[in-house]
Amino acid sequence: MKTAPISAASAPHYTWGGSCDGWHLLRTPDLSVIQERMPPGASEMRHLHQRARQFFFVLEGALAIEVEGETHAVKARSGLEIPPGAAHVVANASTCDAVFLVIAQPPSHGDRVPR
């Protein structure tokens, strides 16, 4: 297996939620690492993952992450774990873009249930 450095400039890109960006930095059957950009005022829909454990790590800006009714202010250079089965929603209530990593094991795509 040949390895090489990867960044948002070279990773596969996708858009979601109408205004947010994602870059698949690592996508294997066991692990997913995505860099995302969420503009001010954006949020995702409330949901849970039945199998995936996620870890959100903020690189720039800040996120408001509500998990099971408790909202956490997650600032740059800090993160929050979301265990499988925990209903949550991620939002950017700030005035600047939030850039963050979403690390999921196993990958969370296809494992999303609206709540």
1 pLDDT more than 90: no
Q: For 94-105, how does the pLDDT look when each residue is reduced to its tens digit (9 = 90+)?
A: 999 999 999 999
**What is the chain's mean pLDDT, rounded?**
96
Phi, psi (deg, nearest 5) at residue 11: -85, 155
Average pLDDT over residues 57-77: 98
78 pLDDT more than 80: yes
Q: What is the pTM of this model?
A: 0.95
Q: What is the DSSP string of the chain?
A: -------TTTS-EEEETTTEEEEEEEE-SS-EEEEEEE-TT-BPPPEEESS-EEEEEEEESEEEEEETTEEEEEETTEEEEE-TT--EEEE--SSS-EEEEEEEES--TT-EEE-
Q: How confident is the model at residue 62 (pLDDT cuts 50, 70, 90)?
A: very high
54 pLDDT more than 90: yes
Percentage of the chain exceeding pLDDT 70 = 99
Domains and CATH numbers, the chain: 13-78+85-114 (2.60.120.10)
Q: How confident is the model at residue 24 (pLDDT cuts 50, 70, 90)?
A: very high
Supply the pLDDT for residue 3. 87
